[in-house]
Amino acid sequence: MAMVMDMNEDTVLAMESTAYEPHHAPLPELSGVSSITSQSESAEIPEQQQLRVYLKVRPFSEEELRSNEEQGCVVLEDSENISLHAPKGSASMKSSEKGIGQQVYKFSFTQIFGPQCSQTEFFDGTISSQVHQFLHGQNALVFSYGVTNAGKTYTIQGSPKDPGVLPRALDAVFRHVAGRQYEHADLKPYLSADVQKLDSEQVKVEKSAKAALFSLLKEDPEPTRSSRSRSSNSSVNSLSFSSVSYDQTVDSTDVTADDGHCLYCVWVAFYEIYNEHVYDLLQPGPASRTRRRPALRVCEDSSGSSYIRDLRWVNVQNAEEASKVLRVGNKNRSAAATKMNQSSSRSHSIFTIKLIRLDGADVQGLSDLSLCDLAGSERCNKTKTFGERLKEAANINSSLLILGKCIAALRSQSHRMKSYVPFRESKLTRLFQGMFCGRGRASMIVNINQCASTYDETLHVMKFSAVAKQVLQVMPPRSIESLAPRLVGLDGKPLLRNGVIDDQAVDEYLSEEELLDGDEADMSILPQEELLSLVESLRSKLMAERRKNLIQEIQIRKEMGDAMLQQITEAEELHSRQLEDLKESYEEKMDSTFEMYKEALKEHAYQCALERLEEDYIPIEEYSEEQERAQALEKRVFELEQKCRCSGAQPLTQDSSVQTSPLPSTDTDAERYKMLYKDKCAVENLCVEKQELIVSLERRVRELNETLQEAGESYMEKLAEVQTLQNRLSNQEQKAECLESDASAREQEIGRLREEVQRASVCVGSSRASVCVGSRPRCGLLLNIKESMTPPSTGGLCRTIRKSVRATTLRKKPS
CB 15 within 8 A of CB 436: no
Under the binding rule (CB under 6 A), the answer on residue 375 touching ligand ATP is: yes
727: how many CB neighbours lie within 10 A of its CB?
10
Among 290, 279, 370, 268, CA closest to 331: 279
Under the binding rule (CB under 6 A), the answer on residue 389 touching ligand ATP is: no
Instruction: Output the smallest distance, CB 492 to ligand ATP, in A.
Output: 38
Task: CB nearer to ligand ATP: give 343 or 458.
Answer: 343
Report CA-CA distances (Å) from 721 to 718, 734, 802, 808.
Answer: 5, 20, 20, 12
Element (H, E) at 74: strand 74-76
Which residue in the shown chain puts its C-beta closest to ligand ATP?
Answer: 376
Under the binding rule (CB under 6 A), the answer on residue 305 touching ligand ATP is: no
Burial 604-621 (b: 16+ CB within 10 A, else e): eeeeeeeeeeeeeeeeee
Under the binding rule (CB under 6 A), the answer on residue 59 touching ligand ATP is: yes
Please tell me whether 318 is known to bind a ligand. Answer: no
Task: CB nearer to ligand ATP: give 233 or 784.
Answer: 233
Q: Length of the chain, please? A: 815
Instruction: Output the smallest distance, CB 61 to ligand ATP, in A.
Output: 6
Tell me how far apart the alpha carbons of residues 451 and 251 are, in angstroms, rounded to a whole number: 38
Residue choice 58, 175, 324, 441 for contact with ligand ATP (CB under 6 A): 58
Give the side-chain half-sphere CA count within 13 A for 155. 38
| Residue 716 exposed, middle or buried by CB count within 10 Å (0-12, 13-18, 19+) | exposed
Instruction: Output the smallest distance, CB 58 to ligand ATP, in A.
Output: 4
Task: CB nearer to ligand ATP: give 58 or 312.
Answer: 58
729: how many CB neighbours lie within 10 A of its CB?
17
Task: CB nearer to ligand ATP: give 240 or 504.
Answer: 240
| Residue 117 exposed, middle or buried by CB count within 10 Å (0-12, 13-18, 19+) | middle
Tell me how far apart the alpha carbons of residues 134 and 165 are, in angstroms, rounded to a whole number: 14
Q: How many helices (H) and strands (E) does the chain have?
A: 24, 21
Among 448, 443, 409, CA closest to 564: 409
Task: CB nearer to ligand ATP: give 234 or 323.
Answer: 234
Contacting range for ligand ATP; rule: CB under 6 A; set: 150-158, 385-393, 608-616, 777-785:
150-158
Residue choice 233, 533, 624, 804 for contact with ligand ATP (CB under 6 A): 233
Contacting range for ligand ATP; rule: CB under 6 A; set: 149-157, 168-176, 325-333, 644-652:
149-157
Instruction: Output the smallest distance, CB 403 to ligand ATP, in A.
Output: 14
Task: CB nearer to ligand ATP: give 148 or 352.
Answer: 148
Between strands 52-57 and 111-113, the pairing is parallel
Q: 426 to 455, contacts with ligand ATP by CB under 6 A?
A: 447
Position 70, amino acid: E
Task: CB nearer to ligand ATP: give 397 or 549.
Answer: 397
Under the binding rule (CB under 6 A), the answer on residue 383 touching ligand ATP is: no
Under the binding rule (CB under 6 A), the answer on residue 172 touching ligand ATP is: no
Task: CB nearer to ligand ATP: give 322 or 451.
Answer: 451
Position 608, amino acid: C
Instruction: Output the smallest distance, CB 383 to ligand ATP, in A.
Output: 9
Under the binding rule (CB under 6 A), the answer on residue 419 touching ligand ATP is: no
Report CA-CA distances (Å) from 304 to 23, 25, 37, 474, 548.
Answer: 7, 9, 19, 18, 14
39: how many CB neighbours lie within 10 A of its CB?
8
Residue choice 17, 130, 229, 341 for contact with ligand ATP (CB under 6 A): 341
CB 300 within 8 A of CB 433: no
Please tell me whether 147 is known to bind a ligand. Answer: yes
Question: CA geometry: angle at 393 spanning 390 and 395, to 5°?
Answer: 110
Residue choice 139, 196, 344, 419 for contact with ligand ATP (CB under 6 A): 344
Instruction: Output the smallest distance, CB 81 to ligand ATP, in A.
Output: 20
Task: CB nearer to ligand ATP: give 6 or 373.
Answer: 373
Element (H, E) at 151: none
Under the binding rule (CB under 6 A), the answer on residue 229 touching ligand ATP is: no
CA 461 to chain centre: 23
Binding-site size, ligand ATP (CB under 6 A) = 19
Contacting range for ligand ATP; rule: CB under 6 A; set: 301-309, 340-348, 588-596, 668-676:
340-348
Residue choice 151, 404, 476, 485 for contact with ligand ATP (CB under 6 A): 151
Under the binding rule (CB under 6 A), the answer on residue 404 touching ligand ATP is: no
Residue choice 160, 304, 376, 477 for contact with ligand ATP (CB under 6 A): 376
Residue choice 150, 314, 369, 487 for contact with ligand ATP (CB under 6 A): 150
Instruction: Output the smallest distance, CB 230 to ligand ATP, in A.
Output: 8
Task: CB nearer to ligand ATP: give 48 or 342.
Answer: 342
What's phi and psi for 249, nearest 5 deg?
A: -65, -40
Task: CB nearer to ligand ATP: give 21 or 64.
Answer: 64
SS3 of 193-223: the string is CEEEECCHHHHHHHHHHHHHHHHHHHHCCCC
Residues in binding site for ATP: 146-153
Which residue ranges make up the site for ligand ATP (CB under 6 A)? 58-59, 146, 148-154, 233-234, 341, 343-345, 375-376, 447
Q: Point out the annotated binding site.
A: 146-153
